[in-house]
Amino acid sequence: MNYRGRKLDAVALWEEFVDFPPNADLSGGFAPLVVCPNPDHGSTKKHFQINLEKPLVHCFALCGISGTYEKAIALVKGISEKEARKVIVQHTRVSLGPGSKRKSRGADGRVRRAAIGDRDENAVARLDDFSTYLPPVALEYLSARGIDAAAISTWGLGWDADERRIVIPADDERGISRFLIKRAIRSKDWPKYLYWPEGAVKTALLFGACKLDRKQVSSHGLVLCEGSLDAIRLQGMGIQATAILGTGLSDRQAQIIRSLRPRRIFFMFDKDGAGIRNTELAASKLTKCPLFVCLYPKGKADPAELTRKEASHAIDTALSMTAFKRRLRERGVSPKVKSPKRERKVALG
Ligand SMILES: [Zn+2]
């Protein structure tokens, strides 16, 4: 069941409160009637029904439990509905999303699944501090960036209501949650990205590395982009993409990339001066792998703007590093230009 964008194991949740009959069919729809968990009801007759597809329950003895999971658990445990929501969230898992079956066939598929499990516990613990409910304004923002409900669930995206920022759990290459990225959605909110806890070293991990199909990376290649949402979007298209989280590939990130043994590396940084500097710096640290630079179609300047077709095309037609440098020279562009005005004119495409 989808619960606030996350995958909820409703049976595991309700097993804490009721006894399901042995061999009961709990695959979906309504669970068989069970003894009502309301301490004030006090009957051993089976009056209580749990909907396993929508988060709703009902007691046919009309003891007062009827409605949402939150409301029912709050009543049973004598806690607030907000606290009840946390109880429920503890039984949610980040959905493995479409394509996970194909991925799990890989030689290390089992290992990776286990890693995803570890990650969940961590992410859930950290996300407890934030609402997992995304308000319309956040959903609109994500949808405009091509991030759909499946991706929200897969990546466990949340919402910081106080700061009005999208919360993105950042996991390391083993799938362990290290910190949270809080992305502003209004242009007036600065800085664009906040990291939590404060002092988190964002370049210590390569965002999205834990969700890669490593077989694809070694047989086809790896795409490097700047932002976490870019990587999420590209992975949603089936592209093996990771993000360096902003400014300059770190030595640690280069080390992680080398350990992935990519057949080729495609740089898909933003089409601006910073993007060119990122390309140059990353190229200087990744000397042992064939490097390519993706070009953007006219009028587009970052991965979030690309359609699936455009992204594939950009990868298929990427320039070799040598050709890219020649192109920069021909256009009279030195990557070290300082003037922001000049930089803005620089075209990667
Ligand atoms: Zn009842």
Residue 328 has pLDDT above 70, yes or no: yes
CA of 79 from ligand 1 middle (Å) equals: 17
Give CA–CA dist 235/114, Å, rounded.
20
CA of 55 from ligand 1 middle (Å) equals: 17
Residue 78 has pLDDT above 50, yes or no: yes
Rounded mean pLDDT of 239-259? Answer: 94
CA of 128 from ligand 1 middle (Å) equals: 29
Range among 41-50, 103-112, 282-291 rated most confident: 282-291
CA of 63 from ligand 1 middle (Å) equals: 4
Question: Is 194 found in the same domain as 269?
Answer: no
CA of 46 from ligand 1 middle (Å) equals: 9
Rounded mean pLDDT of 154-171? Answer: 88
Q: Count structural domains, the chain.
A: 3
Domain boundary among 39, 61, 93: 93
Least confident of 34-43, 50-59, 94-103, 153-162: 94-103
Mapped onto helix, strand or coil, the DSSP state of residue 309 is helix
Residue 232 has pLDDT above 80, yes or no: yes
pTM of the model: 0.61
C-beta of residue 330 within 8 angstroms of C-beta of residue 303 = no
Question: Is 110 found in the same domain as 137?
Answer: yes
CA of 38 from ligand 1 middle (Å) equals: 5
CA of 52 from ligand 1 middle (Å) equals: 18
CA of 310 from ligand 1 middle (Å) equals: 56
Question: Is 325 found in the same domain as 230?
Answer: yes
Question: Is 225 found in the same domain as 158?
Answer: no
Give the CATH number for residue 284: 3.40.1360.10
CA of 58 from ligand 1 middle (Å) equals: 8
Question: Is 171 found in the same domain as 104?
Answer: yes
CA of 68 from ligand 1 middle (Å) equals: 14
Question: Is 55 found in the same domain as 140?
Answer: no
CA of 66 from ligand 1 middle (Å) equals: 8
CA of 78 from ligand 1 middle (Å) equals: 15
Question: Is 174 found in the same domain as 85?
Answer: no
Question: Is 132 found in the same domain as 23?
Answer: no
CA of 1 from ligand 1 middle (Å) equals: 23
Give the CATH number for residue 128: 3.90.980.10
CA of 84 from ligand 1 middle (Å) equals: 18
Which stretches of the chain are assigned E, i.e. beta strand?
2-3, 6-8, 34-35, 46-50, 56-59, 66-68, 92-93, 158-160, 165-171, 177-184, 193-196, 222-225, 241-243, 265-267, 291-293, 319-320
At residue 76, the pLDDT reads: 93
Please tell me the number of Cα atoms within 13 Å of 92 on its side-chain side: 26
Least confident of 73-82, 122-131, 136-145: 122-131
CA of 65 from ligand 1 middle (Å) equals: 6
Give the CATH number for residue 18: 3.90.580.10
C-beta of residue 167 within 8 angstroms of C-beta of residue 182 = yes
C-beta of residue 210 within 8 angstroms of C-beta of residue 174 = yes
Query: Which residues, other chains included, contact 54 with Cβ-Cβ below 8 Å and sequence gap of 6+?
Result: 1
| Average per-residue pLDDT for the chain | 83
Please tell me the number of Cα atoms within 13 Å of 320 on its side-chain side: 6
**Position with higher pLDDT, 265 vs 201:** 265
The whole domain housing 263 covers 209-345
CA of 340 from ligand 1 middle (Å) equals: 67
Question: Is 70 found in the same domain as 150?
Answer: no
CA of 12 from ligand 1 middle (Å) equals: 20
The band of 62, judged by pLDDT with boundaries at 50, 70 and 90, is: confident
What are 26's two structure tokens?
Answer: 């709990």
At residue 118, the pLDDT reads: 40
Per-residue model confidence as pLDDT tens digits over 270-312: 888 889 999 999 999 999 899 999 999 999 998 988 999 999 9
CA of 67 from ligand 1 middle (Å) equals: 12
The band of 94, judged by pLDDT with boundaries at 50, 70 and 90, is: low
CA of 75 from ligand 1 middle (Å) equals: 11
CA of 35 from ligand 1 middle (Å) equals: 8
Mapped onto helix, strand or coil, the DSSP state of residue 296 is coil
CA of 72 from ligand 1 middle (Å) equals: 10
Rounded mean pLDDT of 230-258? Answer: 94
